[in-house]
């Protein structure tokens, strides 16, 4: 009976069994339990053959090279996993990235298949007897440009996963998870040979928490999903017109007055960054300035370009006028204070400053700003924003960060050290990839969201 159940039905079957056991007479519990475990045992005792082709596999993204053999390895309770570092030494250091990922992988096997593994943790000193042997050369510091390549070979009775770095090994484990399938009522892996590496070093997902706050557990759930399909950058948008979502102890008005009580404590941010690192995912925060600044100005209106307005959080999406005043020296003191406190929360080298959709309306209406532009021979609002960005980059560099921003920050005088984030498409009057091509031709590094934004 259980052999004919789909994976989903089996999951509900397990729940139904527990439900029934709690309600039947004691004399029936033993019979029902024996039937249940007999059925589970039969899942793993049947011989299996494979008629799989690469077309029947559900892998995302598709590996660079793949060969499918005519065999199938059944997942049974004796499945064992070992980790070997350079020199052939077995490594199971508690707390290491690969150790933790391997333990999660074993838990995943149990949850996915219902197979109760005898070894629920990577085994130590049993490389020869392991079902899955992971071999790496080094543990990497997570950063742009990590070697994420791996080689995976599934044979009838063993699996080999080799990678230069533990990051590459994590990508191989994600592929192995996706390979799990059912044949003749048994869970297992098709016999394959895979050589894989990412086509792009930056594979990101943006979560906009300013406009739509998400609890920590939801962020972590998204990180798990990202790891499953080998995405490696969480672009965490944390401030905009609708809210400021980070606890800042030196500037408490930001989270107390401009968040509706929905913000992340610094401990929660550290926890999420660590959680992401464990999955080989970099976290790049975005604090949008000088436009999209309504939340910041709700907390500290003295830094606004228009000092005559009363600022409150926006409740709708759109492009709004409030901007920081780039001619006010106190604005840079404020930003230095802010970034001094928040940059250590994020281990990645890149820091996103937004910089998009600044219409400059309040700059045009401010006579002091217009006088500053004339005195400093700043011809237009684009160059005024460049002046602001150059000063901002110096602040970020002081705290060990590299500036990146949306494509609007790209002007003739913007330093080539800035990373340009291309996002606008035909709906904004741009040709597909237009700003990406322009950025590359002008000597910038660039990443692309247009078409996926």
Measure Cα distances from 84 to 129, 140, 159, 162, 167 in Å.
13, 15, 13, 9, 14
Dihedral sign of CA atoms 10, 11, 12, 16 in order? positive
277 as an active site residue: the answer is no
Residue of 235, 255, 292, 421 marked catalytic: 292
151 as an active site residue: the answer is no
The radius of gyration computed from the CA coordinates of the chain, to the nearest angstrom, equals: 27
For residue 208, give every residue at least 6 positions away whose Cβ sits within 8 Å of its Cβ, in sequence order, or none: 237, 240
Instruction: Write out the two tokens for 270.
Output: 């550290």
Q: Is 197 helix (H, G, I), strand (E, B) or coil?
A: coil
* 209 close to 245: Cβ distance less than 8 angstroms: yes
* 279 close to 101: Cβ distance less than 8 angstroms: yes
Locate tokens 């333990």: which residue? 103
Q: To 5 degrees, how large is the angle CA 368–CA 374–CA 380?
A: 95
Furthest-apart CA atoms within the chain: distance in Å: 93
- Distance (Å, whole) CA 438 – CA 444: 9
- State the pairing for strand pair 350-352/402-406: parallel
Omega of the bond leading into 235 within 30 degrees of 0 (cis):
no
255 as an active site residue: the answer is no
Q: Is 128 helix (H, G, I), strand (E, B) or coil?
A: coil
* 230 close to 171: Cβ distance less than 8 angstroms: yes
Q: Which of 98, 113, 94, 102 is nearest to 7 (CA)?
A: 113
Q: How many CA atoms lie within 13 A of 171 on its CB side?
A: 29
- Distance (Å, whole) CA 404 – CA 286: 9
Measured between alpha carbons, how far apart are the two ends of the chain, in Å?
46
For residue 382, give every residue at least 6 positions away whose Cβ sits within 8 Å of its Cβ, in sequence order, or none: 411
Residue of 240, 286, 325, 393 marked catalytic: 240
Active site residues: 240, 292, 357
């Amino acid at each position: 009976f259980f052999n004919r159940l789909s994976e989903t039905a089996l999951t509900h079957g397990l729940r139904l069994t527990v439900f029934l056991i709690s309600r039947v007479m004691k004399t029936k519990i033993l019979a029902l339990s024996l039937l249940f475990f007999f059925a589970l045992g039969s899942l793993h005792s049947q011989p299996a053959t494979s008629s799989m082709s690469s077309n029947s596999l559900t892998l995302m993204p598709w590996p660079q090279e793949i060969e499918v053999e005519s065999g199938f390895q059944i997942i049974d309770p004796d499945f064992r996993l070992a980790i070997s570092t350079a020199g052939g030494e077995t490594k199971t250091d508690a707390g290491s990235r690969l150790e933790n990922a391997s333990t999660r992988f074993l838990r995943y096997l149990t949850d996915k298949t219902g197979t109760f593994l005898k070894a629920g943790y990577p085994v130590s000193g049993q490389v020869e007897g392991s079902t899955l042997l992971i071999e790496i050369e080094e543990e990497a510091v997570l950063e742009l440009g990590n070697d994420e390549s791996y080689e995976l070979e599934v044979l009838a009775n063993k699996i080999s996963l080799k990678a230069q770095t533990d990051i590459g090994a994590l990508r191989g484990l994600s592929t192995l998870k996706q390979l799990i399938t059912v044949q003749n009522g048994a869970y297992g892996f098709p016999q394959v040979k895979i050589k894989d590496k990412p086509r792009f070093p930056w594979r990101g997902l943006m979560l906009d928490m300013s406009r739509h706050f998400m609890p920590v557990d939801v962020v972590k759930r998204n990180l798990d999903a990202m790891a499953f399909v080998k995405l490696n950058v969480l672009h965490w948008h944390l401030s905009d017109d609708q809210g400021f979502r980070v606890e800042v102890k030196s500037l408490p008005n930001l989270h107390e007055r401009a968040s509706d009580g929905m913000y992340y404590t610094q401990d929660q941010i550290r926890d999420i960054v660590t959680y992401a690192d464990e999955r080989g995912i970099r976290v790049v925060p975005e604090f949008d300035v000088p436009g999209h600044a309504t939340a910041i100005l709700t907390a500290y209106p003295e830094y606004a370009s228009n000092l005559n307005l009363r600022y409150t959080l926006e409740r709708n999406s759109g492009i709004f006028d409030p901007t920081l005043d780039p001619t006010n020296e106190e604005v840079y003191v404020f930003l230095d204070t802010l970034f001094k406190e928040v940059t250590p929360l994020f281990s990645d080298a890149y820091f996103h400053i937004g910089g998009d959709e600044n219409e400059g309306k309040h700059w045009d209406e401010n006579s002091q700003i217009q006088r500053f532009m004339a005195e400093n021979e700043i011809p237009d609002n684009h160059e005024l924003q460049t002046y602001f960005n150059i000063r901002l980059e110096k602040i970020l560099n002081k705290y060990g960060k590299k500036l990146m921003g949306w494509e609007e920050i790209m002007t003739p005088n913007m330093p080539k050290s800035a990373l340009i984030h291309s996002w606008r498409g035909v709906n904004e009057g741009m040709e597909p990839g237009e700003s990406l091509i322009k950025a590359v031709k002008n000597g910038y590094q660039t990443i692309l969201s247009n078409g996926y934004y």
